[in-house]
């Protein structure tokens, strides 16, 4: 199904029946990444699997989005479709949105954060220094019009997420990755489960542990030999953990 938010078409797959469950995917992905979760849980929940603006079948914003813009869209979506106290699952970037939404509205019945972003990572200032060096080199290459070397530098610098994004989404990513949510996490009282790949090098397991300590009513479960996508890498193990938390009786 599609709905319109501030002139943008936002696509959402709605399936199942039962209590409302909203899925929020990570950066560079879309709702299809959750197809396994949807098929497993649709007998027990009404699932809203959203393609966030700028991803999948949803329109890209005309101007860059902040984290609050994504949260405001989610609030509007939930109000429009009369979704009542949803369970929210957010993966990576989607976890950022889930954290801000839960902290801001207090509407979330249960919160699941999967390898979520939102904590200032260890080595953040080293990363900032690399970015500054990259920007300086970029300006230097522009100045001397060394086109070939400049293009090589662009191709070999920055994350794939950044390199693969359009200009609007590059700005969106740049703004959102500078947003840290430690204070918001402290405000959340919702029953929260964190599921984390022990070998995640995108959002480190140590970040998950730090996040869990900030959340008043939470637990963290790690999955061994798994990286940033535990629901794809070990789907059976992941679903057993998730179903236990959601009290699914099969």
Q: What is the CA radius of gyration of the chain?
A: 19
> Buried b / exposed e across 145-164, counting CB within 10 Å, b at 16+?
eeeeebeebeeebbeebbee
By C-alpha distance, which of 109, 119, 107, 101 is closest to 24?
Answer: 101
Q: 214 with 185: CB under 8 angstroms?
A: yes
Split at pLDDT 50, 70, 90, the class of 123 is low
d(CA 112, CA 192): 6
- At 132 the pLDDT is 45
- Give span(s): CATH 3.40.50.1820, the chain: 2-122+179-246
- At 140 the pLDDT is 44
For residue 133, with 0-12 CB atoms within 10 Å meaning exposed, 13-18 middle and 19 or more buried, which class applies?
Answer: exposed
Strands 87-91, 2-5: pairing is unpaired
Q: 77 with 1: CB under 8 angstroms?
A: no
Q: What is the tens place of the pLDDT at every residue in 48-90? A: 999 999 999 999 999 999 999 999 999 999 999 999 999 999 9
Place of tokens 């809203």: 48
- At 106 the pLDDT is 86
Question: How much is the pTM?
Answer: 0.86
Q: 102 with 190: CB under 8 angstroms?
A: yes
**If you ran DSSP here, which 8-state letter would residue 59 be given?**
P
Q: Which CATH class is domain 2-122+179-246?
A: alpha beta
- At 45 the pLDDT is 98
d(CA 146, CA 142): 7
Q: 66 with 48: CB under 8 angstroms?
A: no
Average pLDDT, integer, range 180-195: 97
Q: What is the tens place of the pLDDT at every residue in 27-40? A: 999 999 999 999 99
Q: What is the tens place of the pLDDT at every residue in 200-244? A: 999 999 999 999 999 999 999 999 999 999 999 999 999 999 999
Strands 87-91, 20-24: pairing is parallel
- At 179 the pLDDT is 92
**If you ran DSSP here, which 8-state letter would residue 32 be given?**
G
d(CA 19, CA 70): 23
Average pLDDT, integer, range 120-137: 52
Split at pLDDT 50, 70, 90, the class of 159 is low
Q: 117 with 96: CB under 8 angstroms?
A: yes
Q: Please determine, for residue 126, whether its predicted confidence score (pLDDT) is greater than 80.
A: no
Average pLDDT, integer, range 100-116: 97
* Token output for 134: 């990259």
């Amino acid at each position: 199904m599609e709905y319109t938010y501030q002139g943008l078409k936002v696509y959402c797959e709605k399936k199942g029946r039962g209590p409302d469950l909203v899925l929020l995917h990570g950066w560079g992905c879309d709702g299809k990444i959750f197809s396994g979760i949807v098929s497993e849980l649709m007998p027990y929940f009404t699932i809203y699997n959203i393609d966030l603006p700028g991803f999948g079948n949803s329109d890209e914003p005309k101007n860059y989005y902040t984290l609050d813009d994504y949260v405001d869209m989610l609030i509007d979506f939930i109000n429009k479709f009369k979704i009542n106290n949803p369970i929210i699952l957010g993966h990576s970037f989607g976890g950022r949105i889930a954290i801000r939404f839960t902290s801001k509205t207090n509407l979330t019945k249960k919160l699941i954060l999967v390898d979520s972003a939102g904590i200032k990572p260890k080595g953040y200032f080293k990363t900032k220094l690399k970015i500054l060096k990259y920007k300086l080199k970029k300006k230097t290459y522009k100045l001397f019009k060394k086109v070939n070397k400049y293009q090589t530098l662009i191709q070999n610098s920055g994350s794939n997420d950044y390199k693969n994004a359009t200009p609007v989404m590059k700005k969106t990513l740049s703004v959102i990755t500078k947003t840290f949510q430690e204070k918001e996490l402290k405000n959340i009282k919702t029953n929260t489960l964190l599921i984390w790949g022990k070998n995640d090098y995108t959002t480190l397991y140590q970040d998950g542990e730090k996040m869990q300590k900030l959340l008043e009513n939470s637990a963290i479960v790690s999955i061994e030999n798994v990286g940033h996508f535990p629901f794809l890498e070990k789907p059976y193990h992941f679903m057993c953990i998730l179903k236990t938390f959601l009290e699914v009786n099969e």
